[in-house]
Amino acid sequence: MAVKVIIPTPLRQFAGKQESVNLEAGTVGDALNALTSQFGDLRKHLYSDDGRLRSFVNVYVNDEDIRYLQKEKTAVQQGDTISIVPSIAGGAKA
């Protein structure tokens, strides 16, 4: 399925300065794998060392958070938009 992946501003420098990338994928996980295969420098910002999506990386299919769907196994349809949206976290030393 042809889908569009929206790249958040802080990561566009690693995706050829593009705001979005068109990809072929069957699931969200497939799309993110295709994205990071094409743009390898994105991987460390999206995934932690154990291969999981970082907790502050939020992924939506159209307007639905994949955490409430099938997570990275969420199927995508032709023309879907996958958005990567940051949440922001931090804090002083414990």
Residues contributing to the site for another protein (CB under 8 A): 8-14, 41, 44-45, 54-56, 58, 65, 85-94
Other beta carbons less than 10 A from residue 57's beta carbon:
18
Q: How far is the CB of 32 from another protein (least distance, A)?
A: 16
CB of 56 vs another protein, minimal distance in Å: 5
Structure tokens at 68: 């409430």
Name the residue nearer to another protein (CB basis): 22 or 94: 94
How far is Cα 71 from Cα 66, in angstroms, rounded to an integer?
5
26 vs 56, which CB is nearer to another protein? 56
Closest CB to another protein among residues 44, 52: 44
Q: How far is the CB of 74 from another protein (least distance, A)?
A: 16
Return the C-alpha torsion angle 25, 86, 46, 50, nearest 10: -120
First to last CA, the chain: 46
